[in-house]
Amino acid sequence: MNDITAVSGPMAQEEFMDRSSLGLAAAAAAIRGGEITSEAYTAALLRRARTLTELNAFIAIDEAAVLEAARDADKARVAGSAAPLLGVPLGVKDSYLTKGMPTSLGLDGLAHFVPREDADVVGAIKRAGALVFGKNNLVEMSYGLTGHNARYGQVKNPHVRERVSGGSSSGSAASVAAGIVPASLGGDTVGSIRVPASFCGVVGFKPTTGRWPRKGVAPISHTLDTTGAFARSVEDCVLLDQVVTGEEPAEFSDSDYHLKGVRLAFAPRQFLDLVDSEVESRFREAVRRLQHAGAEVVELNLGDDFNALIQTATWGIFAHETRGAISEFLRHHDIPTTFEAIYEGLKPQLRQAWGHVVLPSGAGAISAEAYQTALNVSRPEIQHRLNAAFVARGALVILQPTTPCTAPLIDEQETVHIAGQDVSYLALANHTLSASSVGLPGISLPVGLSRAGLPIGLELDAPVGSDRMLLALARKIEGVLAAEPTAI
């Protein structure tokens, strides 16, 4: 079945290749309506995946299995199935357990581990009719922001191959941006969905922490971990959110893109302090366009110590919880390795980082007292500051550039250059940490390209539990901004 014409029937091969650009909702509607078959659509995506193997976006694709699943979906449609994702292939980050399909967690030592169960979110999309197209590449144990993996290769940015994809959900973002799959599941602890979404020019949705189930997904921090998704439009994220949560579809008018009466906020002293000039220019232009569409945009000052507060608290929680979270996950799911074996097998840079901040004996490890302070003092204070926007000022969302720069060069990813300064690559999460610290829902929208052809993202963060409002507003903002096409 390597030749797409073998399964395409009378429709021209070129038309099927055009179908590979369909978004999730459009593809699902086309399959349900009989305009295309799942088998032919899947074959088109497989062909595209073969032409883009140099991106390293996938660790594993079982072509025979996914084509067989597509044929089964076509039979189900003929029999009357109208499942919301019937016959649509999705990418799945290789930190999600997938029954009968290898799940490596990005590690060499688990390259041949085949789980006996699906992660809860994978089960949800399968019940909705979706197919697992393949397992997306990722940073080892989801511990990184650039997309480098020593065993499976650096995930490359589909826009400029010499640039990073972002991480840790690197292959998930790259595969959606490259048109290999219409959507993919990812995970976000401090920015692992929103950072690569920004760098690759796709929509990245991080729900309120706990809204989407996390069972069966390799963890870092039980306080911060969130499952979520990448797609080409907010509409597609809305559809996935409905499938995973089981909530009734929200009504929305595609023509209703005015923002009259909508109050938005941003904090220039906190989120524009260390930002490349092109990113700031694009952000301010986006704000002007939202104001032109009727939005009221208010400026906030979250406090001179706000960035230091979220950095110290969030990274401290992140590292302190890692060992226990991973150890419990391995035991609970009978995964044939140990935390100690994983640690010993990490690439040198990551092993050094774990030795410094994750191991209790590490020089940078925070104490139990400091950890409790982060949870019980710092996090409530961060939430109190953010409430200045959501409650006192009445803003629906807080806006900021998703990342302070565009995608760095692959050869220069340990230390990145931002606004004339050489800083740690951890600075790539400077803006995403805020929502992660207290579990807010956040979404990154593409807002155009830099002069070098690199995507720039706009992040919207909303109050805890207001995911449906955030998605509805993001659809309006997406329509207002109407970011120019980013052809690859």
Q: pLDDT tens digit string along 366-379?
A: 999 999 999 999 99
- Angstrom CA distances, 434 to 282, 378, 423, stand at 21, 12, 19
Phi, psi dihedrals of residue 250, rounded to the nearest 5°: -90, 145
Amino acid code (one letter) for 91: G
What is the predicted pLDDT for the residue at 258? 80
pLDDT at 165 over 90: yes
Handedness of CA 231, 103, 402, 276 (dihedral sign): negative
Mean pLDDT of all residues in 21-47? 97
416-419 contacts: CB < 8 A, separation 24 or more?
418/274, 418/275, 418/276, 419/274, 419/275, 419/276, 419/277
pLDDT at position 312 over 60 = yes
3-state secondary structure of 311: helix
Measure the CA dihedral 27/197/145/164, to 10°: 90
Read off the DSSP letter of residue 211: T
pLDDT at res. 18: 63
Helix axes 379-387, 306-332, angle to 10 degrees: 120
| Structure confidence by residue, pLDDT tens digits, 59-118 | 999 999 999 999 999 999 999 999 999 999 999 999 999 999 999 999 999 999 999 999
Q: Which of 8, 192, 378, 450 is catalytic?
A: 192
Thinking of the domain 20-307+369-481, which architecture would CATH place it in? Alpha-Beta Complex (3.90)
pLDDT of residue 252: 60
8 A C-beta contact, residue 205 and residue 241: yes
Q: What is the CA radius of gyration of the chain?
A: 21
Band of pLDDT at residue 12, cut at 50, 70 and 90 = very low
Tokens of 460: 């919207």
Q: What percent of the chain has pLDDT over 90?
A: 92
Q: Examine the pLDDT at 14 and tell me if it is beyond 80.
A: no
For the question of residue 169 being annotated catalytic, the response is: no
Sign of the C-alpha dihedral, residues 358, 360, 362, 364? positive
Show the tokens assigned to 379: 């996090």
Catalytic residue among 93, 156, 206, 476: 93
The domains of the chain are located at: 20-307+369-481
Pick from 198, 191, 200: nearest CA to 160: 200
Is the CB of residue 187 less than 8 Å from the CB of residue 169? Answer: yes
- The string of pLDDT tens digits covering residues 413-472 is 989 999 999 999 999 999 999 999 999 999 999 999 999 999 999 999 999 999 999 999
How far is 122 from 235, CA to CA, in rounded Å?
20
- 93 catalytic, yes or no? yes
Contact residues for 477 (Cβ-Cβ < 8 A; gap 6+)? 259, 290, 445, 458, 460
Is the pLDDT score of 155 beyond 90? yes
Q: Which residue among 38, 95, 142, 168 is the active-site one?
A: 168
pTM for the model stands at: 0.95
pLDDT of residue 256: 58
pLDDT at 195: 98
Single out the residue of 421, 478, 456 nearest to residue 166, CA to CA.
Answer: 456
Q: What length does the chain have?
A: 488
Residues in contact with 57: Cβ distance below 8 Å, sequence separation at least 6, in sequence order = 49, 91, 136, 137, 155, 165, 170, 171, 174, 175, 178, 180
Which residues neighbour 290 within 8 Å (Cβ) at sequence distance 6 or greater? Answer: 259, 264, 297, 477, 480, 481
Mean pLDDT (the chain, rounded): 94
How many Cα atoms sit within 13 Å of 46 on the Cβ side? 27
- Contacts of 256 by beta carbon, 8 Å cutoff, 6+ apart: 476
Closest by CA to 266, choosing from 295, 293, 308, 238, is 295
User: Binning pLDDT at 50, 70 and 90, where does residue 185 land?
Assistant: very high
Cα(273)–Cα(400) distance, rounded to whole angstroms?
11
Angle between the 24-32 and 63-78 helix axes, to the nearest 10 degrees?
Answer: 50
254-305 residue pLDDT tens: 555 689 999 999 999 999 999 999 999 999 999 999 999 999 999 999 999 9
What is the pairing mode between strands 183-188 and 203-206?
unpaired
Distance, in Å, from the CA atom of 408 to the CA atom of 35, rounded to the nearest integer, reads 41
**Of 184, 223, 183, 230, residue with least CA distance to 206:** 230
User: What's the pLDDT score for residue 249?
Assistant: 73
DSSP type of residue 414? S
What is the distance between the alpha carbons of residues 4 and 17, in angstroms, rounded to a whole number?
9
pLDDT above 60 (res 10): no
Is 168 a known active-site residue?
yes
pLDDT at 248: 84
Cβ 74 vs Cβ 87: under 8 Å: yes
